[in-house]
A and B are shown apart, each in its own frame.
Chain A
Amino acid sequence: MIRLDNFSYWYPGSDRPALQEIDLEIEEGEFVLLTGPSGCGKTTLALALAGFLFSQFNGESSGGVEVFGLDPAVVPIYEIADQVGLVQQNPENQFCTLMVEDEIAFGLENRRVPREEIEIRLAWALEAVGISGLRDRSLRSLSGGEKQKVALAAILAAKPRLIVFDEPTSNLDPPSTHEIFRVILDLQRRGNLTVLVIEQKLDFVNQADSRVIRMSAGRILDQETGQPRTITVERPQIPASPSDPVLEVDDLEVGFPGRTVLDGVDFQLFPGELVSLLGDNGSGKTTLLLTLLKMQEFKRGSIRFQGVSLDKVDSPSLGREIGMVFQNPDHQIFASTVWEEAILGPVNFQLDPDRYENWTRSLLDRAGLGSRLKEHPYRLSFGEKRRLNLISVLSYKPQLLLLDEIFIGQDPQNGEFLMGLLVDHVNEGNAVLLVNHNPAYYPLISTRLMFLKNGKLAVNSPLPEALRELDRMGEGAYLPVEMP
């Protein structure tokens, strides 16, 4: 039995509790889904159950936590680790070794388990997660989904009674997300394992199999107030008259030594279009965006922006007209205040302040950042940083906006806000190319879908037709729960 009894927690230096009066009981063998907006305390709750909240942070707490009869606030972390395993969001950041079998054996070796026993548990964990074939591989050579399975096997090998997953699929494509949830559910059923999954993408889990707990502002919501938020966003208006394409890509081939990533890719983008680019992890989506920005060389084909070949446009002029938001918010913050960050692009491109200052200020107000202009951007929450990332590119109104997975880790409220900004941008006659994995988002705003498979553009059609094509191709994982 896992129990939190009127538990509250304050991080050091914070007068606002991260968790407030939490009362929760989880029975052994239960499958619990924990969801809620970013920053609501889900990860803090996970850290409390796994004991790290008490071993790694010197915060204040009140109330009690009990995990299988142990108090994580008192007993050494090693004792809790025998009962509770924590699988974090990004497997890349939690690997301690370089090879699959070393990674799975790591925890057992640290516990001084004899090697004969390690061999038995290693083989069992690999088989349980369905990755016996990966045993001799290096971690670097694995796909995102395979890495997350290795991270799970590494925790499973220690045979904990509770496994906590902190957004385990946020970086994964839909097929890998389905597969990870299938494995988790299978493990829970076969092994009577207790499972707590923190997740935003609830559409991927059959909620009949689980108990769903919703959190907000450090509290657990009751069933009535805790109903899922529905996203409402207006679709882009389709332009009345056709115009010249803003981007033309013809027979594009891009590759690295020994590997062709994109092969014969053709498409056009028109003003007023919001096109979603889908495809499995590693299918070349980010490579395509970088190629359009002249940050990746191509071997064959041509790219024309506003009718001019890309090799005739210098990089600064191109940057002014083609904006890009990268995947990780922390990789694209360069200034020391929110305001300076928001106007960094216009200043670098030497635009007239009259053209961007009021506009940028209105965007920041709309994002709820208007009163925080002098704060350092790194003081913002994850969702706020993502808003700032997008505003710092919208501030110079690029004609083409390239977005790489900007909805990762975003709660529905923030996702709705970001989508609203994108729709407004295309309604002003600009174009957006959006790389996205989440079927809860792209069907709401896309005018067209493109799907990359084996380096080729397998689908390039208006939304309803594209979804039907994906269905026919057996790519059901990419389809939304409710077809538009």
Chain B
Amino acid sequence: MKRVLGYQPGVSIFHRLHPLLKVAWLVFITAAAFLIHSPAVNILAVLVMLAVFPAVGIRWDDLRGLRVLIFTALLITCLQILFWKEGELAAQLGRIRITDQGLFRGFYLGARFMVVVLISYLFVLTTSPNQLAYAMMRAGLPYRLGFTFVTALRMIPIFEQEALTVYRAGQARGVSYRPRGLRDLWEKLAGFILPMLVSGMSKVDALSISMEGRCFGMHRSRTYFKVREPFSGDLWAGLILLMGIAAVILVKLWEV
């Protein structure tokens, strides 16, 4: 089965940071990319993040789908440069006017896109969804909601595997998955979905017995056995984050 983009276990500082601190960094970097209208700052941020990936033990091979996103960023950049009309003339390519504002917008928007993409990759690849869910529950998210997320994480790969089995079982008995018209499409879809639905319902029954049998929902709150001790990296990452937020606020005030 094809590997999808997901958490890659590791021991780097990014892996060890508190998951909620990483969420805060994700929000901050994304917001800063939109607030700081500077191609240079955004390009610098892209270069820094590209250097971070190998440093935290992530191979380029793990960044699935990155080529398409780089292509999209280049497309955004080129379209802005070639077709933005406002501003002073910087160069002329035949009938196409390239303006200073077009160049500014092209590099800024392309780099901003890549900043958001790369910080999201870094977050997804270094943050265990399970640890994130537990951290959110400990921070106050109702545990019934938190375990909805954990259960989804558990069930997605199981359903993925089952869908493949149902597909193969159909193929083995000559079911063609190339629909001939809308009616045929509907029949094929129903034939495929029904086994998944039946299997899903039996799983729900088993899971609800398992959860109820272990007193899930007995109290309004629950205890948590795992305690995550903070380490110096959390402190430094928090401090740098606060400084970053202060810097962005100062820049925005300066602009006003």
- Which residues of B46-105 have CB atoms within 8 Å of chain A's CB atoms? none
Per-residue interface assignment for chain A, residues 90 to 117, with 1 indicating a CB less than 8 Å from any chain B CB and 0 otherwise: 1011111111011001111111111100
Taking a contact as CB atoms closer than 8 A, the residue among A78, A95, A112, A335 that contacts B191 in the complex is: A335
Residue of B153, B171, B207 touching A93 (CB-CB under 8 A):
B207
**Chain A interface: which of B10-18, B23-31, B160-168, B246-254?**
B160-168
Are the CB atoms of A140 and B157 closer together than 8 Å? yes
How many angstroms between the C-alpha atoms of A118 and B168 in the bound complex?
A: 44
- What is the CB-to-nearest-CB distance from A447 to chain B, in angstroms, rounded to a whole number? 24
B218 at the interface (CB under 8 A from A): yes
Contact A98-B215, Cβ < 8 Å, known A93-B206, A326-B165, A392-B173 = no
Contact: B209 with A56, CB < 8 Å?
yes
Which of A88, A109, A115 is within 8 Å of B210, CB to CB?
Answer: A88
- Within the complex, the shortest CB–CB distance from A11 to chain B, in Å, comes to 13
Contact A115 B225 (CB under 8 A): yes
| Cβ contact within 8 Å between B225 and A345 | no
Residue ID in chain B nearest A115 by CB atoms: B225
What is the 8 Å Cβ interface bit string for chain A, positions 313-331, against chain B (1 contact, 0 not)? Answer: 0011001100110101011
- In the complex, chain A residues whose CB is within 8 Å of the CB of B224: 109, 115
**Distance in Å: Cβ of A142 to nearest Cβ of chain B:** 13
Cross-chain contact A349 with B174 (CB below 8 angstroms) = yes
**Cβ of B175 and Cβ of A334 under 8 Å apart?**
yes
How far does the Cβ of A126 sit from chain B's closest Cβ, in whole Å? 13
From B3, B150, B168, B209, contact of A86 by CB (8 A): B209
The stretch that binds A, out of B34-42, B119-127, B192-200, is B192-200
Could you say which of B168, B173, B215, B219 contacts A107, with CB atoms under 8 Å apart? B215
Contact A331 B162 (CB under 8 A): yes
Q: Say whether B206 contacts A319, CB under 8 Å.
A: no
A-B contact count (CB 8 A): 169
Cβ–Cβ < 8 Å partners of A81 in chain B: 212-215
Residues of A within 8 A of B211 (CB): 96
Closest to A294 in B: B171
Contact of A97 among B150, B198, B199, B203 (CB under 8 A): B150
With a CB–CB cut-off of 8 A, which chain A residues contact B244?
Answer: none
The dominant DSSP class at the B interface is: helix
Q: Does A249 sit at the interface, judged by CB under 8 A?
A: no
B228 contacts chain A at the CB level, 8 A cutoff: no
The total of chain A residues at the interface (CB under 8 A) is: 66
CB-defined contacts of B208 to chain A, threshold 8 Å: 56
Q: Given A97-B154, A295-B171 in contact, is the A334-B195 Cβ separation under 8 Å?
A: yes
Q: Is the beta-carbon distance between B199 and A328 smaller than 8 angstroms?
A: yes
0/1 per residue, B216-234, Cβ < 8 Å to A?
1111011111110000000
Q: How far is the CA of A450 from the CA of B174 in the complex (A)?
A: 29
Q: Is the C-beta of A393 less than 8 angstroms from some C-beta in chain B?
A: yes
User: Chain B contacts of A52 at CB under 8 A?
Assistant: 209, 212-213
Contact B214 A331 (CB under 8 A): no
How many Å lie between the Cα of A56 and that of B225 in the bound state? 29
Docked complex: B169-198 residues within 8 A CB-CB of A = 169-176, 191-192, 194-195, 198
The interface residues of chain A lying within 8 Å CB-to-CB of B134 are 102
A254 near B: Cβ within 8 Å? no
Asked whether A112 and B221 contact (CB < 8 A) given A326-B169, A333-B195, A335-B191, the answer is yes
With both chains docked as a complex, state the minimum distance between the C-beta of B173 and any C-beta of chain A, in angstroms: 4
* Known A56-B212, A319-B173, A348-B176; 4 more pairs at CB < 8 Å: A93-B207, A97-B130, A108-B225, A326-B169
* A residues with CB within 8 A of B: 47, 50, 52, 55-56, 77-78, 81, 85-86, 88, 90, 92-99, 101-102, 105-115, 118-119, 122, 139-140, 154-155, 158, 257, 290, 293, 295, 315-316, 319-320, 323-324, 326, 328, 330-335, 344-345, 348-349, 378, 392-393
Across the A-B interface, the 10 shortest Cβ-Cβ residue pairs:
A348-B174, A107-B214, A94-B210, A93-B206, A332-B169, A334-B191, A105-B225, A110-B215, A118-B225, A345-B173
